[in-house]
Amino acid sequence: MAHTSPDHNIDFTAPLDTKQLIGRRVLITGGASGIGAGCARLFVTHGAHVVIADLNEELGKAVVTELEGIHFIPVDVTSFTSQKAMFATALEILPGHEIDVLIPCAVLMGGFWDYTPQPASSLTSTDPSTSTVEPPTKGLQVGLLGTYHSALLCSKYCMGLHQQHSNTPSNPLSSTPSQSGSGPGQLQYDKAIILIGSLASYGSLPGSPEYTSMKWGTRGLFRSLRIELLKTGVRVHMLAPTFVETPMTASIVPQLKKAGASFASVESVAEVVGRLVGERGVNGEFAVFYLFSFFPPILYPL
């Protein structure tokens, strides 16, 4: 089935053109497990230069052991200082000291919130059983603030765009991208940022205003960056999959399956990421997995 953007068609049922991934310089946060690790496997298998970053050093080193050619950098994406160090190290590792593709996958499920009303006396209570409970925010710090910092740091400092910014036309996609990027003064529109949203970016995850806020925030970031960064030659997409069986979702998988939910595979999500990276004529669109993993992804213009 072919899905159409204003200027381009993508046939998600056709085999992935893996030639488009060869030589790409890719940084993946949250790359030690789940969707991030799945993307790392896809890209390195097809000839990309891949750096993964994660807080979990044990899992990160395990991915490096499994997949020859991948590099690992420890990072705490909630720390701006840690992210700066991550990008600086990645640029030392990657050929040409540039990043072509950023995939910020670092995320936490976040906490669930008990909405049961309590008396105002809880605000001043010193009894742990009745005192005020602070709402969870770690998921927001990792999945939204971390992604925000990753996208802005990478696009501003790490993609080599300062060298061509003064020559960028008002509509970069109206020009023919350079396949090699070697022509003097020729703009190269193959930089891409792939944000990982969720169906919760359009609805909600019951009981978790934190996760829902994080994913709606990711959608807001996407809608802003898809316009702002196109001016500099960066394509921005957001992938909004349905439930994906990963270590992060392991605790809720049994209940969801019991309720009849279907899951998209990590491999299928990674393949769509690879396809969006390779489709140079498409910008600012996102693929959605509906509730059935066998249903082909669909592109929407916003």
Measured CA distances, 125 to 118, 128, 130, 131, 136 (Å): 12, 8, 7, 5, 20
Confidence at residue 186, expressed as pLDDT on a 0 to 100 scale: 39
Cβ neighbors of 11 (< 8 A, separation 6 or more) are 1, 2, 3
Q: Is the pLDDT of residue 133 over 60?
A: yes
- Secondary structure (DSSP) of 183-210: STT-----EEEEEE--GGGTS--TT-HH
Any idea which of 85-94, 144-153, 196-205 has the lowest mean pLDDT? 196-205
Task: State how many domains the chain has.
Answer: 1
Sole residue written with tokens 């995850």: 205
In the sheet that 234-239 helps form, which strands lie side by side, from edge to edge? Answer: 71-74, 49-54, 25-29, 101-104, 191-196, 234-239
Distance CA 159, CA 156 (A): 7
Specify the pLDDT at position 161. 87
What's the CATH code of the domain at 15? 3.40.50.720
Residue 295 lies in a domain: yes
Q: Kindly state whether residue 183 falls inside one of the protein's structural domains.
A: no
Does a structural domain hold residue 125?
no
Q: Is residue 25 part of a domain?
A: yes
What's the confidence (pLDDT) of residue 292? 45
Q: Establish if 43 belongs to a structural domain.
A: yes
pLDDT digits (tens, 9 = 90+) for 154-191: 999 999 988 766 554 444 433 334 433 433 333 445 89
In a domain, 117, yes or no: no
Range of the domain at 279: 2-109+138-172+189-300
State the pTM of this model. Answer: 0.84
Residue 41 lies in a domain: yes
For residue 217, the model assigns a pLDDT of: 96
Give alpha helix (H) positions in 94-157. 138-140, 146-153
Q: How, if at all, do strands 101-104 and 71-74 pair?
A: unpaired
